[in-house]
């Protein structure tokens, strides 16, 4: 069995040389044409005298050219560093510098350009199949560069392909070629299954949805909400759609319900980490459930005294080789990864995500997990979404602040609902009604921005 995507794609191309594999607007490519274009791009890279293991950062819009560059980097035995097209130039420069990238590949006026960076003679020993550096979302602090190998990434894509029982009739629809949700659950699994992937350009998603009739889609909640906010009237369900995966964060229970009503099918929920790859999956979104573990994924559950929840540690067959640290040894590739997430697990192995460890609050000596209270609030018939955050009060304490979206309700009713259905000792110091929610660049709820909003509203009183 092959251990790299390149060899797997070459085998597919030889078996079906004329089958269309990729579509972007009016442009189409077979796998044979994709690999031939990658060979030509690799020849351009060879002129740069890159050495095996050198990093090449890629900062491009989703396009066929992006995939050609990515495969070309691998053909030259270099390490790709994909950077999301929405990041500002200053952040791109910082990320490229952190991993010592000698080239930054961009597009200008439709042409692929190589921008040179200071040479970096890395001293970190690298395995021969080191393939890609992916930056974490930074929810645990600073975004970290995680190094992945060809063999392990291919193992992950095969796993999701098999889990979803993909076949050659698949049509994947993607809006990003960097987001792990779309890379791990649609892009490469669909191509490995012999299907076709449609790369949707800005503003064309719903047109592609109607015309291409995709079978597989994946999105992060922030992108998913934006898509639904721009959905055309009279949108008809697509009976060919087999799964729409939401990964990276949990959408609210109300949004899960709206998705079901609008598209006539359930939203699927996937959980994973940049460092660990895909970890769990459920085909039917249900509150804060994040599914059961994928085959081969191991979990350790560290119970929190006095509660039925605990901290989740994971080990997967496709996790990173380690964090990129210039001049140092790689971290142990098979170690347990601390997710920083507080979860509950039932007898059937179903995981329910409750909170990030750093967001757990303490009231009167009791620990309060925000996700538990948020689920209670979202069960109210007039509340669509809720978030509970702790805000330092300047006196070595933390105030409990509740944010919610929904109908205008008196504070007394909100407090009564919390007291009746949640912890009796949870008494929010302040409550704010919202109509929109701040998100990070990764599309996750930005709790730091909620804390800043609370302070802003407090000073304006």
Give the mean model confidence (pLDDT) for residues 257-279: 92
Same domain, 328 and 385: no
Answer with the residue of higher pLDDT: 196 or 222.
Answer: 196
Same domain, 206 and 299: yes
Note the pLDDT of residue 123.
Answer: 58
pLDDT at 442 over 90: no
Note the pLDDT of residue 124.
Answer: 65
* Window from 133-142, 155-164, 256-265, 448-457 with minimum mean pLDDT: 133-142
Task: Assign 139 a pLDDT band (cuts: 50, 70, 90).
Answer: low
Return the structure tokens found at 27: 């442009």
- What whole-number distance in Å separates Cα of residue 51 and Cα of residue 54? 6
Same domain, 247 and 367: no
Same domain, 84 and 233: yes
pLDDT at 193 over 60: yes
Same domain, 270 and 369: no
Same domain, 305 and 454: no
Residue 79: which of 113, 49, 53 has the closest Cα?
A: 53
Same domain, 366 and 349: no
CA 340 to chain centre: 16
Same domain, 73 and 118: yes
Last residue of a domain, one of 330, 353, 376: 353
> Do the Cβ atoms of 57 and 81 come closer than 8 Å?
yes
Task: Assign 182 a pLDDT band (cuts: 50, 70, 90).
Answer: very high
* Window from 60-64, 275-279, 400-404 with minimum mean pLDDT: 400-404
236 vs 198, 233, 288, 310, CA distance in Å? 19, 9, 28, 42
Answer with the residue of higher pLDDT: 428 or 336.
Answer: 336
Give the mean model confidence (pLDDT) for residues 31-52: 95
Give the mean model confidence (pLDDT) for residues 389-401: 79
Give the mean model confidence (pLDDT) for residues 129-146: 81
Same domain, 283 and 137: yes
Phi and psi at residue 42, to the nearest 5°? -65, -35
Q: What is the largest CA-CA distance in the chain?
A: 70
Same domain, 325 and 429: no
Reduce the DSSP state of residue 337 to 3 states and report it: strand
Q: The pTM is what?
A: 0.84
Same domain, 342 and 367: no
pLDDT at 165 over 70: yes
> Do the Cβ atoms of 122 and 326 come closer than 8 Å?
yes
- What whole-number distance in Å separates Cα of residue 228 and Cα of residue 36? 37
Note the pLDDT of residue 147.
Answer: 94
Note the pLDDT of residue 334.
Answer: 72
Note the pLDDT of residue 101.
Answer: 93
Last residue of a domain, one of 302, 329, 353: 353
How many degrees, rounded to 5, is the angle at CA 428 between CA 286 and CA 312?
Answer: 45
State which residues form the domain around 427: 360-460
Give the mean model confidence (pLDDT) for residues 374-381: 87
User: What are the DSSP calls for 149-218, one per residue?
Assistant: EHHHHHHHHHHHHHHTT--TT-EEEES-SS-HHHIIIIIHHHHHTT-EEEEPPTT-HHHHHHHH--SEEE
> Do the Cβ atoms of 151 and 3 come closer than 8 Å?
yes
pLDDT in tens, 200-257: 998 999 999 999 999 999 998 888 888 988 888 888 889 999 999 999 888 888 889 8
pLDDT in tens, 426-436: 778 899 999 88
Last residue of a domain, one of 353, 378, 406: 353
pLDDT at 298 over 90: yes
Phi and psi at residue 188, to the nearest 5°? -75, -35
Residue 219: which of 184, 241, 247, 242 has the closest Cα?
A: 247
Tally of domains within the chain: 2
Task: Assign 153 a pLDDT band (cuts: 50, 70, 90).
Answer: very high
Residue 5: which of 158, 197, 127 has the closest Cα?
A: 158
Task: Assign 372 a pLDDT band (cuts: 50, 70, 90).
Answer: confident
Give the mean model confidence (pLDDT) for residues 286-297: 95
CATH of the domain at 228: 3.40.50.12780
Task: Assign 140 a pLDDT band (cuts: 50, 70, 90).
Answer: low
Note the pLDDT of residue 379.
Answer: 87
Return the structure tokens found at 349: 């192995």
CATH of the domain at 438: 3.30.300.30
Q: At what angle do helices 150-163 and 5-15 cross, to 10 degrees?
A: 50
Give the mean model confidence (pLDDT) for residues 263-280: 94
Same domain, 277 and 399: no
Mean pLDDT, the chain, whole residue set: 88
């Amino acid at each position: 069995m092959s251990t790299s995507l390149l060899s797997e794609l070459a085998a597919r191309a030889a078996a079906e040389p004329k089958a269309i594999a990729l579509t972007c607007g009016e442009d189409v490519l077979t796998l044979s044409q994709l690999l031939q274009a990658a060979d030509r791009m690799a020849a351009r890279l060879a002129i740069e005298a890159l050495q095996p293991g050198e990093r090449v950062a890629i900062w491009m819009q989703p396009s066929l050219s992006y995939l050609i560059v990515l495969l070309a980097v691998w053909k030259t035995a270099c390490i790709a560093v994909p950077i999301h097209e929405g990041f500002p130039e200053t952040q791109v420069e910082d990320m490229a510098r952190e991993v010592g990238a000698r080239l930054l590949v961009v597009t200008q006026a439709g042409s692929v350009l190589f921008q040179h960076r200071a040479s970096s003679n890395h001293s970190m020993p690298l395995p021969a199949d080191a393939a890609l550096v992916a930056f974490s979302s930074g929810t645990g602090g600073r975004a970290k560069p995680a190094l992945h190998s060809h063999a392990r990434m291919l193992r992950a894509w095969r796993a999701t392909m098999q889990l979803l029982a993909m076949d050659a009739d698949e049509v994947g629809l993607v809006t990003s070629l960097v987001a792990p949700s779309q890379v791990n659950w649609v892009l490469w699994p669909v191509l490995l299954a012999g299907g076709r992937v449609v790369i949707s350009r800005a503003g064309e998603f719903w047109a592609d949805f109607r015309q291409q009739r995709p079978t597989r889609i994946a999105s992060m909640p922030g992108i998913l909400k934006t898509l639904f906010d721009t959905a055309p009237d009279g949108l008809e369900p697509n009976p060919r759609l087999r799964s729409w995966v939401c990964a990276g964060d949990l959408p609210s229970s109300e949004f899960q319900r709206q998705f079901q009503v609008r598209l006539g099918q359930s939203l699927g929920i996937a959980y994973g980490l940049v460092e660990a790859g895909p970890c769990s999956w459920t085909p039917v979104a249900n509150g804060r459930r994040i599914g059961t573990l994928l085959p081969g994924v191991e979990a350790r559950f560290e119970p929190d005294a006095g509660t039925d929840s605990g901290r989740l540690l994971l080990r997967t067959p496709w996790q990173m080789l380690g964090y990129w640290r210039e001049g140092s040894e790689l971290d142990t590739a098979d170690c347990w990864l601390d997710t920083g997430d507080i979860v509950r697990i039932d007898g059937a192995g179903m995981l329910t995500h409750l909170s990030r460890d750093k967001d757990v609050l303490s009231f009167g000596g009791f620990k309060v997990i925000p996700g538990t209270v948020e689920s209670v609030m979202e069960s109210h018939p007039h509340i669509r979404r809720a978030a509970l955050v702790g805000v330092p009060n300047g006196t070595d304490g933390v105030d409990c602040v509740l944010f919610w979206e929904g109908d205008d309700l008196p504070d007394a009713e909100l407090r009564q609902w919390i007291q009746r259905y949640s912890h009796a000792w949870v008494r929010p110091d302040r409550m704010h009604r919202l109509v929109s929610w701040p998100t990070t660049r990764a599309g996750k709820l930005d709790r730091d921005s909620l804390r800043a909003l609370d302070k802003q509203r407090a000073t304006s009183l």
